[in-house]
Amino acid sequence: MGMLEGKRIIITGAASGIGRATALLAAQEGARVVAVDLSDTVDQTTAIITGSGGTAIGIHANAANEDDVRDFVTACVDTYGGIDGIYANAGVSGGRKPLTELTVDDWQRTLGVNTIGVFLAIKHTVPHFTTKNSGSIVCTASVAGLRANAGGVDYSASKAGVISIVQTTAYQLYGTGIRINAICPGLIETGMTRPAFDRARERGTSERIGQINPMKRHGEPVEIAQMACFLLSDRASYVNGQSIPVDGGLSASHPWVFPR
């Protein structure tokens, strides 16, 4: 029996990176998965799952569009007879610009996907969870939402917003049996971060990637997936309202200078 045996789980941003890794692991752990993404490669995710004997459907949808969110939640309920958890993981990297060069459009896109998308996932799953007094909501925040220098201003603010949503929602759901938590990844190699990895490899400095955390390396998507699946499972039954760094220890310290 996997730790998600029989669970009906929605995962957004499931076409690649952390979302795909989580969808694959959740299916291996026994979940029936709804994989959601704007990209057509979400179909590859579901093909991998079903080809390995798992159960999954893929939906092309915008996690920041309320009608789309309502529809993919309904699809989970209609297909599997209910919903037990959602991983609101879809995100964008932000404007990747200095503060003074960011535009209102940059801010609206970043907040729309990273923060409002999380709100919509919560809004449209909570009514289903409250009918059975249980459910797990997991959101992707970031170490950039905890400390400076892990992302641009718009990205960092959007992820700090996710952390605040999780804390506030945990108490708005007081007594319902619904849990909500966030994961704060450190430096993980995904499509979002690949440009930085590619530049380091071009310069011949790839061995320095992740050097400022105590483990002296970057993380892999599956390492975030392990935490996500734990939080979605009943094994995390007393974990609620938390934003948990999975970052090799990066956020455990104030700035420091490597001893030479």
Active site residues: 155
Name residue 227's amino acid.
M
Q: Are 247 and 220 in contact (CB under 8 A)?
A: no
**Closest alpha carbon to 130 in 91, 197, 175:** 175
Q: Which of 242, 239, 192 is nearest to 219 (CA)?
A: 192
| 3-class secondary-structure state, position 10 | strand
Give the Cα separation of 126 and 104 in Å (integer).
31
Q: C-alpha distances in angstroms, 225 versus 86, 114, 184?
A: 13, 18, 12
Distances (CA, A) of 99 to 17, 161, 244, 259: 27, 18, 27, 32
Closest CA to 245 of 197, 178, 188: 188
Let me know if 150 is exposed, middle or buried by CB neighbors in 10 A (0-12, 13-18, 19+). Answer: buried
173 token code pair: 């759901």
